[in-house]
Amino acid sequence: MPLIGDRFPEMQVQTTHGVMNLPKDLAGKWFILFSHPADFTPVCTTEFVAFQNRYKEFKDLNCELIGLSIDQVFSHIKWVEWIKDKLNVEIQFPIIADTGAVAEKLGLIHPSKGKNTVRAVFFVDPNSIIRAIVYYPQELGRNFDEFLRMLKGLQISDEQKVAIPANWPNNEIIGNKVIIPPPTDITAARYKKEKYQNFDWWFLYRELEAKES
């Protein structure tokens, strides 16, 4: 089972958009791979609609989406057609048809939940490194605005070498500001405390840097 910081394992998968080689085909992009227990189930249907409704926002952040469950590709295709016909939402991202091999490799089968995949989410960066993993139980639908927040936070952390506070950008202490990594020696502690807003030498923060246009 891969962990945060590991390279996403190489695999060839059958999807509703054809065969894909992961992570190779998405090198240079972020991608989110998310598993769902089964097609034609109500909670999963609400999740796919929620992801699709935010798909453009993810793509604007250089991020692709990939679904997965242990269902045949024919089931995926019919389910996607049902969502379009009944809910007027066209699912535009690929869904992996898994025989169980991918789920086993990624640790998506939990014994207490039978043979269906749990609701797992993998965030993978442009260097094919797993940056975050989130698990939900089968009975609880996911919060997709949180996944957008996580993606933005990871990208800002990489670009500006900062940490992201709780509930950012609406943190109860520092609002939409970001946290400066704490200094590791006395000289740096004095310098950083003078340079940045702070509550103490180990809790320093600043405004987010504006992106160059």
Q: Mention the CATH class of domain 161-213.
A: alpha beta
pLDDT given at position 37: 92
Q: Which CATH number fits domain 11-142: 3.60.15.10, 3.40.50.2300, 3.30.450.20, 3.40.30.10?
A: 3.40.30.10
pLDDT given at position 197: 95
Q: What are the sequence ranges of the domains in the chain?
A: 11-142, 161-213
The number of helix segments (H) and strand segments (E) in the chain equals: 6, 10
pLDDT given at position 213: 52
Measure the CA–CA gap between 119 and 133, rounded to whole angstroms. Answer: 11
Mean pLDDT by runs of 10 across the 213 residues of the chain is 95 97 97 95 97 98 96 97 98 95 88 76 98 92 97 97 97 97 91 93 93 62
Residue whose C-alpha is closest to residue 143's, from 43, 61, 5: 43
pLDDT given at position 68: 96
Q: Give me 44's structure tokens.
A: 């999963």
Catalytic residues, by residue number, are 44
pLDDT given at position 96: 97
